[in-house]
Amino acid sequence: MPKVKVKRKNPSLDMTPMVDLFFLLVTFFMLTATARPDEAVVVDTPSSVSEIKIPDTNVITITVDKDSRVFFGVDGQQTKEALLDKIAGKYGVGFTAEEKRTFSLLSNFGVPINQLKSFLSMESSARKEVNQPGIPIDSVHNELGDWVLQTRLTNPKVVIAIKGDQDADYPTVQRVIDILQDRKVNRFNLITDMESKPTNL
Amino acid sequence: MAEIQEKGDSGKGGKKRAKRSSTKIDMTPLVDLAALLITFFMLTTTFNKPQTMEINMPVDPENKEEQIALKASNALTIILGDDDEIYYYFGLADDNPELLESSYAADGIRKVLISPRVKSNDKMTVMVKPMEGSRYKNMVDILDELKITDTKKFALVDIADADKKLVEEQIK
């Protein structure tokens, strides 16, 4: 009987298909990725069965956090630069080119206009630490109304979305809605989380 | 690493042969890098865009007199109170209606909204009146219930003193 020879196999395996697959995935994720924007506050939105998606561009996001502070955000760097120019002209505050650039990179903010200059001139790490008081919405200093109005003049296509925290109190939200209605905005979106629709009706 | 080079032929005698080096390259570092990048992009990608709920508020009328008064038989008022409480009544506040308490649960206010009294009446208008102590979640929840039950006619209305009085009497 011949001796059974144990065949010595080379333990290396061909990794080429694996690498192919990995790079395909890397390419996919790189192209679809949109970096998560740096939000000034974290809000926990309530859920709803609504299935309408918010558009990607031309959105004003008015954030109301659980301490009823109001934050304003708009997308588009050019829009933001033009907007800051208009607000600067209206309130008589001058901004340097550097501050404008910083402003155009902010995703949202919640400081009154008279504090905005010092807020923008801060280091970006210090800016995260600062406790933003929220944009004034009372009838004497209705700055939110001005921001919304000027943004709509800058970019007429904008859609307004309200992103409220579950625990935000209703009078603040009502006040924001009233401000929008004063500016003849009667149609807006409430940002919510997904929830499954009940089937037994 | 993963690749084990076979020992080159030592050759017999003094014959010299050109050493044939393996054409395989070790791909492990490449795979490591690719996997690292995949992990990074997977974690930084935000996939689902947030949902939105579209609402249209009525345009503020120029003069209040042009508005038509709502008939008592066509009115349902839902009051959103403090601490996630919810009350409702049929008819108008002036007629001293019976205020009933409900809840946001599936068998709460939804039952009322799909009851024949609301569903069979095309002119039935639901008025949502949030009180000062209510949360934003309450408002979204009730708008959601109206959407689930497919109620077409509804309005967000400021709370009136008569409604507040009704709630106060109920709590007492």
Q: Which of B140, B142, B156 to mutate to test the interface with A (most CBs of A within 10 A)?
A: B140
The Cα B29–Cα B45 span in angstroms is 24
- A138 CA to chain B: closest CA distance, Å? 16
- B7 in any annotated domain: no
Question: Which residues of chain B have a CB within 8 Å of the CB of A73?
Answer: none
- For chain B, give the percent of residues with pLDDT over 70: 80
Minimal Cβ distance to A164: which of B50, B136, B148: B136
CB contact under 8 A, A189 and B53: yes
* Structure ipTM: 0.72
The Cα A114–Cα A92 span in angstroms is 10
> In total, how many domains does chain A have?
1
Element housing A79 (H / E): helix A77-91
- A92 CA to chain B: closest CA distance, Å? 32
- A12 in any annotated domain: no
- A29 in any annotated domain: no
Over residues A139-154, the pLDDT tens digits come to 777 888 888 888 888 8
- A152 in any annotated domain: yes
CB contact under 8 A, B147 and A165: no
CB proximity list for B115: less than 8 A, separation 6 or greater? none
Minimal Cβ distance to B51: which of A26, A177, A193: A193
What is the overall mean pLDDT for chain A? 82
**pLDDT for residue A156 is more than 80:** yes
- B66 CA to chain A: closest CA distance, Å? 19
- A38 in any annotated domain: no
pLDDT range class, residue B172, cuts 50, 70, 90: low
Measured from the Cβ of residue A151, the count of other Cβ atoms closer than 10 Å reads: 23
pLDDT range class, residue A9, cuts 50, 70, 90: confident
Minimal Cβ distance to B136: which of A16, A36, A46: A46
Residues in chain B: 172
Minimal Cβ distance to A48: which of B41, B53, B60: B53
- A70 CA to chain B: closest CA distance, Å? 13
- A156 in any annotated domain: yes
pLDDT range class, residue B8, cuts 50, 70, 90: very low
Comparing A11 with A65, the larger pLDDT belongs to A65
CB contact under 8 A, B137 and A12: no
- A189 in any annotated domain: yes
pLDDT range class, residue A111, cuts 50, 70, 90: confident
Over residues B14-62, the pLDDT tens digits come to 566 677 777 777 788 888 888 898 888 888 776 666 777 777 777 766 6
- B91 in any annotated domain: yes
CB contact under 8 A, A46 and B140: yes
Element housing A63 (H / E): strand A59-64
**pLDDT for residue B110 is more than 50:** yes
Q: Give the number of A-B residue pairs with CB atoms closer than 8 Å.
A: 161
Question: Which residues of chain B have a CB within 8 Å of the CB of A29?
Answer: 37-38, 41-42, 45
Tokens of A15: 């990794």
Minimal Cβ distance to B52: which of A18, A167, A191: A191
Over residues A14-59, the pLDDT tens digits come to 788 888 888 898 888 888 776 666 677 778 888 888 778 888 788 8
Residue whose entry in the numeric block shows the structure tokens 């009136």: B160
Long-range contacts, stretch B4-9, CB < 8 angstroms, 24+ apart:
B4/A10, B4/A11, B4/A12, B6/A10
Q: Which of B37, B136, B138 to mutate to test the interface with A (most CBs of A within 10 A)?
A: B136
Domain holding B161, by residue range, is 71-171
- A131 in any annotated domain: yes
Q: Quickly list DSSP for chain B.
A: ----PPPPP--STT-------------HHHHHHHHHHHHHHHHHB--SPPEEEEEEPPPPPS-GGGSPPPPGGGEEEEEE-STT-EEEEES-GGG-PPPEEE-SSTTTHHHHHTSHHHHT-TT-EEEEEE-TT-BHHHHHHHHHHHHHTT---EEE-PPPHHHHHHHHHHH-
Residue whose entry in the numeric block shows the structure tokens 């037994």: A200
**pLDDT for residue A174 is more than 80:** yes
Q: What is the CATH number of the domain that holds B113?
A: 3.30.420
- B37 in any annotated domain: no
CB contact under 8 A, B2 and A11: yes
Over residues B133-144, the pLDDT tens digits come to 888 888 888 888
In one-letter notation, the amino acid at residue B4 is I
**pLDDT for residue B65 is more than 80:** no
CB contact under 8 A, B31 and A201: no
Domain holding A128, by residue range, is 58-194
Instruction: For chain B, state the CA radius of gyration.
Output: 35
**pLDDT for residue B63 is more than 50:** yes
Q: In what order do the strands lie in the sheet with B125-130?
A: B100-102, B86-90, B75-80, B125-130, B154-156
**pLDDT for residue A131 is more than 50:** yes
Q: What are phi and psi of A128, to 5 degrees?
A: -70, -30
- Residue-wise over A82-114: b if at least 16 C-beta within 10 A, else e? bbbebbbeeeeeebeeebbebbbebbbbbbebe
- A111 in any annotated domain: yes
Please report the pLDDT score of residue B11 as a whole number: 47
> In total, how many domains does chain B have?
1
CB contact under 8 A, B37 and A64: no
